[in-house]
C-alpha cells in the first residue's frame, strides 16, 4: 500500500501546489515568450516543474524513511538521486527565470550527476551474450559513463518538451514502465516506491499542463524528470544482463530517438549539432496535419509501444529479444521517413521498398 499512498499524496500535493507555482512564476517573471520555434502564441508561465518537485519531495520525506525502516534496508542511492534532483530543479528554475547559458546549465547537470555517483550509483559492467561480463575496469571509466548517460537522458527529455503535456506524459509513461519492471520483473521495492511518488507528481501536474496548458513545466520540470528517469534506469537495471542494459533504452525510446534523429539530421544537413530546428518529432507530426492534441496522443502511443516492448523484452529469450529490437528499429525508421523526421530527402528504407516493388512488378509483367 505504500506505493498507492505515495502516488496519491504526491498527486494531491502537486494539484494544490501548481496554481500557487503559476502565480509565483508570473510574479517573478518566469514566463515563456512566443517565437518562431514555439507553438504557443501568448505568454505562458513556466517553472511548473517546481510543483512536481514540491509534491514529490513531501511524499518522499513522509514515506521513504518509515518504508526503508520497515524493509530493514537503507538506500544511499535513492537519497543521492533526490539530492541530485534538487540541484537540477535549482538549475532549471534559474534557467526559467534568467535563461542561463548552455555552459552553466551543463555545469549544473554535471554537479547533479556527480552527487548521484558520490552516493554509490554508477554503471560498472554489462553482461553481454556470448561474451560474458564487460567490466569497465578503471573506476573513472564507470563514473564517466554514468555521468554521460545521466546528462544525455536529462537533455533528451528536455528536447521533447515542445507541446502541451508532451514531456510530462512521455516521462509518466516511462516512469510507469520502470515501476512495473521494479515490481514484477526485477524486484526492487525502493525503485518502485520512488517511481510511484514521481508518477503521482507527473499525473497531478498534467491536470494543468495537458492541452490547452495553463502552465509549462519549463526546464525546472523537464530537467528534473529527465534526470530522475536517467538515474532510476541505472538503479533499477544495473546489476544483470544485456537485457538490463537495453531495457532502459527501450523505455526511454521516444526522447532518445528524437535526440539521435536530431543529431543525424543536422549532421547530414551539415549544420552544427547544437543548433535548434523545427524538425523534432512533434514538429513533424504537426507538419503532416495532426492537431496539437492528436500529435501529443500519437507520441504517447509511441511511448506506450516502446514501454510495452521493453516489458515483453525482459521476459523473452535471446533471439526473441533480438527480433523485438529489430522490429522496433524498422518501425522507427519507417515512421521517420514517412513524416520527414530526418529530412525529406533521406528515405533509404522507402526507396528500397520502391525498388523491390519495381523489380517485382517488372518480373510479373514479363
Residues of each annotated binding site for Mg(2+): 158, 219
- Residue 338: other Cβ atoms inside 10 A: 13
Cβ–Cβ < 8 Å for 210, 164: yes
Retrieve residue 256's grid coordinates: 532518445
Retrieve residue 122's grid coordinates: 554508477
Cβ–Cβ < 8 Å for 300, 173: yes
Distance from chain centroid for Cα 309: 16
Return the residue matching grid coordinates 503532416: 288
Q: What does the alpha-carbon distance between residue 225 and residue 229 come to, in Å, rounded to a whole number?
A: 6
Smallest Cα–Cα separation from 18: which of 50, 40, 58, 57?
Answer: 50
Cβ–Cβ < 8 Å for 272, 144: no
Give binding residues as ranges: 158, 219
How far does the chain reach from its first CA to its final CA, in angstroms? 69
Amino acid at each position: 500500500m505504500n506505493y498507492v499512498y505515495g502516488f496519491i499524496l504526491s498527486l494531491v500535493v502537486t494539484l494544490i501546489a501548481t496554481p500557487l507555482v503559476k502565480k509565483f512564476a508570473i510574479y517573478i517573471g518566469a514566463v515563456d515568450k512566443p517565437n518562431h520555434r514555439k507553438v504557443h502564441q501568448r505568454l505562458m508561465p513556466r517553472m511548473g516543474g517546481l510543483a512536481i518537485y514540491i509534491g514529490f519531495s513531501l511524499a518522499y520525506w513522509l514515506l521513504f524513511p518509515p518504508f526503508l525502516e520497515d524493509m530493514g534496508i537503507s538506500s544511499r542511492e535513492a537519497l543521492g538521486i533526490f539530492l541530485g534532483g534538487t540541484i537540477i530543479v535549482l538549475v532549471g528554475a534559474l534557467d526559467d527565470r534568467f535563461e542561463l547559458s548552455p555552459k552553466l546549465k551543463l555545469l549544473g547537470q554535471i554537479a547533479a550527476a556527480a552527487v548521484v555517483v558520490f552516493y554509490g550509483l554508477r554503471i560498472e559492467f554489462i553482461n553481454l551474450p556470448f561474451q560474458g561480463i564487460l567490466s569497465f575496469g578503471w573506476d573513472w571509466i564507470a563514473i564517466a559513463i554514468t555521468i554521460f548517460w545521466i546528462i544525455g537522458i536529462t537533455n533528451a527529455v528536455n528536447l521533447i518538451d515542445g507541446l502541451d503535456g508532451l514531456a510530462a506524459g512521455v516521462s509518466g509513461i516511462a516512469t510507469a514502465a520502470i515501476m512495473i519492471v521494479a515490481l514484477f520483473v526485477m524486484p526492487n521495492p525502493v525503485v518502485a516506491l520512488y517511481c510511484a511518488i514521481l508518477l503521482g507528481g507527473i499525473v497531478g501536474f498534467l491536470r494543468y499542463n495537458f492541452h490547452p496548458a495553463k502552465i509549462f513545466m519549463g526546464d525546472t520540470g523537464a530537467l528534473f524528470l529527465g534526470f530522475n528517469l536517467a538515474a532510476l534506469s541505472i538503479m533499477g537495471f544495473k546489476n544483470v544482463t544485456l537485457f538490463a542494459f537495453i531495457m532502459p533504452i527501450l523505455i526511454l525510446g521516444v526522447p532518445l530517438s528524437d535526440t539521435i534523429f536530431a543529431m543525424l539530421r543536422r549532421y547530414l544537413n551539415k549544420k552544427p549539432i547544437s543548433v535548434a530546428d523545427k524538425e523534432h518529432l512533434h514538429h513533424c507530426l504537426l507538419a503532416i496535419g495532426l492537431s496539437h492534441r492528436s500529435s501529443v496522443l500519437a507520441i504517447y502511443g509511441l511511448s506506450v509501444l516502446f514501454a510495452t516492448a521493453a516489458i515483453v523484452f525482459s521476459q523473452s529469450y535471446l533471439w526473441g529479444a533480438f527480433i523485438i529490437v529489430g522490429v522496433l528499429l524498422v518501425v522507427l525508421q519507417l515512421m521517420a521517413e514517412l513524416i520527414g523526421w530526418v529530412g525529406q530527402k533521406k528515405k533509404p528504407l522507402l526507396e528500397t521498398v520502391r525498388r523491390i516493388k519495381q523489380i517485382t512488378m517488372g518480373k510479373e509483367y514479363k
